[in-house]
Structure 1
Amino acid sequence: MTASLALCFDAPMQSWGTRSRGVIRDTTREPTKSGVVGLLASALGIRRGDTKALAGLADLRMTVRVDREGILERDYHTTQNVPTTEGKGHRTVVSERYYLADALFLVVLEGDPALLTRLHGCVDRPQWPVFFGRRAFVPARPLRTADSLSDVPAGEVVATHPWLEIDPDAREAERRRARRTPLRTVSDCAPTDPRAEPRHDHPVDFASRAFRTRHVLVDTTELTDDMIGAGGPLCT
């Protein structure tokens, strides 16, 4: 038996880095597996080096539906009085930090019903603070959706779950549009799938920054009248 947990990732700013070392801090265009697992681990109170507990979260199958594509933005940071590597003085470090502005995602996790039930009970009452890639990037609304936990497969959830957009003008514009732009989806898949794309963001141990490669399928799903509905989506 399997289950699915649908979560709403909505915030003014989100950052999902995969190569964020040194002076360049990148972001992908949708949540990474490592970022989502880190958020869930915080909600459950799992420590960075607890590889067994992290493995259970990382083994959940993840599908992301992009309900609103974010705008890629860049912060330009200057940090003064940073010690030099030789320890003989200080220097000024300039860094570039990328993030997504006004992005909105439906994140669906599929797998162990007992684990997903635990997550359903704590994501909006987390053990430790949750955030979207950086500590300052906190959720703008509850993570749980109206029909968050179900026994529906993830593929069916992303094809039928109500659209998470709450802007009435955007909803009315899509309702009237003759041809709608499909919603982009990114889902875990087998490496043997001919359309599989590698992503090096499957966490193994956060304490030692150990990751391995997973494979995803990038696709689209139609934005239907039923998904738009008569009013905005509800969060619990």
Structure 2
Amino acid sequence: MQSWGVRSRFTHRDTMQEPTKSGVVGVLGAALGIGRTDKPEIKQLADLHMAVRVEREGIVERDYQVSTDVPTTKGTGHRNVVSHRYYLADALFLVLLQGERALLERVAEAVQHPRWPLFFGRKAHVPASPLILAPERGFGTGLRPEGSLEQALQEHPWQEERPELIKDIESDPWLRTVTDVEAHEPEREARYDVPVTFESGNRKFQQRYVRVGRVPVPQSDAQPERESPCT
């Protein structure tokens, strides 16, 4: 389970259908032990270029909650408060980061040996597997010596391991991608999810631009032979 909110307010807590920049920076910050108000360290992580490949689209679920005996704003009594909290169930993502190698090495080490507990948007939503998979599983060490985000999106092995989903890939041989781009690039979308500070009660965010696309599912030994999809 995961939750990647961008417009959460009061009794309505939303989620995007893929990891946000603020959510990823939050995970990395926890791994590194960075404080919520440490703006220079947060900015260094937020400045990393990010791309996401959706390995398995999740299911958006709603958690309906009722809190009782909540004091009124005037302090004259109590009331019940209904809240709607959305989250993703059964989703799987490949998150790619590009930047200075020294920082990426520091991040990779921290993710594998985090200082603070890691979770996806809510404390109950903990990772179901290591965030950097072991080399013997064919996914590498988490660091690429060279190449662009676009190359990695196309070449990195597909992480899906469920036989029934691998078998059904012929029906839809594409994976959705969301990649950081410059403000002047075509087909861009604005996302207001770049963190400035995570200070409780005073969180601040800035805008970034992304391009939503798709890439063919990379062929691997675990998948049946197939023809390359037309581009």
TM-score (norm 2): 0.89
State how 1:195-234 maps to structure 2 within 5 Å: 195-207=187-199, 208-225=202-219, 228-230=220-222
The superposition leaves residues 116-142 of structure 1 with CA deviations (integer Å, 9 ceiling, x where unpaired) of 101111112211111111110000000
Which letter maps to 1:182?
A: W
Which residue type is aligned with residue 59 of structure 2?
A: I
Q: What SS class does the counterpart of residue 27 from structure 1 fall into? A: coil
1:224 is displaced (CA, Å) by 3.0
The code of the aligned residue for 1:159 comes to Q
Distance of 2:124 and 2:111 partners within structure 1: 18
For 2:37 and 2:112, locate their aligned partners in 1 and report how far apart those are by CA, in whole Å: 23
Distance in 2 (CA, whole Å) between partners of 1:230 and 1:74 is 34
- 1:122 aligns to what? 110
Structure having the larger proportion of residues in strand: 1
What does residue 83 of structure 1 align with?
A: 71
Question: 2:130 & 2:67 partners in 1: Cα distance?
Answer: 34
SS in 2 for 1:224: coil
| Structure 1 residue ranges (4+ consecutive) displaced by more than 4 angstroms after TM superposition | none
CA contact 2:2–2:88 (8 Å) conserved in 1: yes
* Alignment pair present for 1:171 and 2:166: yes
How many residues align structurally?
A: 214
Paired residues for 1:125-164 under 5 Å: 125-145=113-133, 146-147=139-140, 148-151=142-145, 152-164=147-159
1:217 positional shift: 0.5
1: CA distance, partners of 2:45 / 2:166: 34
State the Cα distance separating 1:230 from its structure 2 match.
Answer: 2.7
- The residue type paired with residue 153 of structure 1 is S
Structure with more relative contact order (C-alpha pairs < 8 Å, separation 6 or more) = 1
1:53-92 to 2 correspondences below 5 Å: 53-92=41-80
Q: Tell me if structure 2 keeps the 8 A contact 1:200–1:213.
A: yes
- Alpha-carbon distance in structure 2 between the residues aligned to 1:90 and 1:42: 36
Q: 1:40 corresponds to which letter in structure 2?
A: L
Instruction: Please identify, of 179-188 and 206-215, the stretch whose mean Cα deviation from structure 2 is larger.
Output: 179-188
Shift in Å at residue 66 of structure 1?
0.3
Shift of 1:31: 0.4
Name which of structure 1's ranges 57-66 and 81-90 shifts more when overlaid on structure 2.
81-90
Q: Which runs of 5+ in 2 are unaligned?
A: 134-138, 224-231
Identical residues among aligned pairs (%) = 51
Q: Which runs of 5+ in 1 are unaligned?
A: 1-12, 232-236
**Residue in structure 2 matched with residue 3 of structure 1 by the alignment:** none
Aligned partners of 1:65 and 1:209: how far apart in 2? 27
TM-score, length basis structure 1: 0.87
SS of corresponding position for 1:54: helix
Q: CA deviation at 1:84?
A: 1.3
Return the offset for 1:89.
1.9
Query: 1:185 is aligned with what amino acid?
Result: T
Paired residue for 1:193? 185
